[in-house]
Amino acid sequence: MNQKRRYSEKRDAIWRALCATVEHPSAEQIYETVRKQYPEISLGTVYRNLTQFREWGQVKSVGVVNGQERFDANVLPHPHFICHRCGAVIDLHQIPKEPISAELVMQHYPVSVEYQELVFHGICHTCQEKSNNNRRS
C-alpha cells in the first residue's frame, strides 16, 4: 500500500537527529535528543517514525546491541563492527567490498536477495586500551 507521506515537524526532527550522528543510535537515544526540542514527544512516536523510515527504505536496522535496536540512515551496503563491551557500532567504509555479492548468490541459488549485510563482532580499540591501562595500574 502506497501511504502518503505528510510533513510532520516531529518526524523531521527525528530524521535530523538520526542523520546528525554516525553513532548508529537506538530509538531511546533519538528520543532523548528530540525531546529537548519537543518535550511532549513520546518514545512511541519515535518508534513509529523509525518503522516508517525503514518501510520507506530511508533507514536500516544494524541489529540489536545491548538489548536496543540500532539504526543507520546510510542505507548503502557497507559492513559494520559491533563492540560487545561498550556497544559501539562502527562503519567500516575502508574495507573493500566482500567477494560475495547478491548477484553471485542469485547465480548459484534459486533465491531473490533483497539486501545483504556484513557485521563483525569483537572489542573496539577504546575498550582494548581501557583493558590495557587497567592491567598496567
What's the maximum distance between 2 C-alpha atoms anywhere in the chain? 60
Where does the pLDDT of residue 97 fall: very low under 50, low under 70, confident under 90, or very high at 90 and above?
low
What pTM value is reported for the model? Answer: 0.80
76-137 in CATH: which number?
3.30.1490.190
CATH of 1-75, picked from 1.10.8.10, 3.40.50.620, 1.10.10.10, 1.20.120.140, is 1.10.10.10
Higher pLDDT, 96 or 115: 115
79: left (phi over 0), alpha (psi -120 to 50) or beta: beta
pLDDT at 54 over 50: yes
* Nearest Cα to Cα of residue 98 among 72, 123, 80, 71: 80
Hey, where are the domains in the chain?
A: 1-75, 76-137
